Structure 1
Amino acid sequence: MISFFRKIRQKLLHENRVTRYLVYALGEIFLVVIGILIALQVNNWNESRKSRNFEQEILSLIDQNLSRDSSVIAAELQKALIANATTDSILNQVEKGVFEENLYVWMAKVIRFERFKSQSSGFEVLKSKGIDVISDKDLQIDLINYYDEVLFRLNQAILDVENSFNVDWIPVVKSEFYDFDYEDRLEPRNLEDFFNNPSHIILFKMFQDNREGSISRMEIALAEISSLRTSIKNQLK
């Protein structure tokens, strides 16, 4: 088409028909501009499609990560809830002066700590590409809040329990227990003497209070994950 206009221009110029020559020249320029605009639009469509495809892929990966986080946190939360309920059972039984072997098993459920490591590969890839890949601004904010704030506080709370185990309980276990089977059985050298020591009762209460903090943070994390996964599923439709 452009070649056609060029031939006409050359003929008009040869015939000294300047006005029509300019009209055809402008027509040729117009076609060039239109061609460029169409090419740019097609390129924009392609880039938009690539960006959308990547957004879908990264959200799918993040959703898988969140699903795994949810399963692990829920399992650890259950252990923590059992531990604190068992602490109440121990303290109630000891208060009644009943020192029986069930306390060995109960103590093993209490004198322990929870573990959790988030699966964050999807979010790390997203950060490397730029959070703006996510088209939903609210979802951007919620993802940042979960990975930078919620998980930070959760990990701190879980670490507090682990530190208390290492600092407060390990010395007691080493000095007061002769049988230690982690999560199964803890047997003091003298059960009654052990529980008649007020400092040991305080340890149980402090550990229980410390664990309450991690329970609260795990519940918050699970609620945040549920909300995030709902938002992600809406984007994946």
Structure 2
Amino acid sequence: MVNFVLVAGARLGAWAWDDVVPHLRAAGHGVHPLTLSGLAEKQGVPAGQQTHVQDIVDEVERHDLRDVVLVGHSYSGVPSGQAAGRIGDRLARMVFLDSSVPADGEPFVATWPDGGTAMRATIAENGGFWPVAPATHFEDHGLTDDQIARIVGGSTPHPGATLTEAAVLDGPLGDLPATYIKCTLGDPEPSDDVAELLTGGRWRLIEMDTGHWPMFSRPGELARILIDAAGA
């Protein structure tokens, strides 16, 4: 048995894993979906980048979890990758799910084409938050109309400081035992920073033929991949 700690991407909360959790629990594993500060039921809680890192570390320590498989989706690969280095031998494996990866001293927005200029402007115009995305944002990702409506309806504005504050790594990211799951629908290749990390010998690449939100589009398949990754 391992303990999965599941952290969904920007604007989402623990609820985003509802279709995945039963598959993991049926296989006998511990499952801990986590809502980060400022999102979903934790709206109103002030949050910066290190708040989200600490949210993850606190979840592991509060439950005294061992053999942790930490799964960070999309934006949450950034705080999860930092937290993975801080939970020490509690970590069994880090899984980056079609996610960004942290770079020491760099914010989430650093890898955006304009260096995050437009993102920062949007955050400033929306009271310090990244607003909820419209339904059109989720098209062409293998999602049904009902699934898109569920994502949009459950989303909450994302605390902007978590996107613009710099990551702080305790050690080289490539030293982590890690799996990168690439969702290939519409964007088949890993980003350059991920491709470089995959050459280091400790990271594995797994591909899913679906879009960026596989916890909705392919929950059963995603659960099987996570279980397989846990045994890697």
Do the structures match in fold with TM over 0.5?
Answer: no
The structure richer in helix per residue is 1
The structure richer in strand per residue is 2
Q: Which has the larger radius of gyration?
A: 1
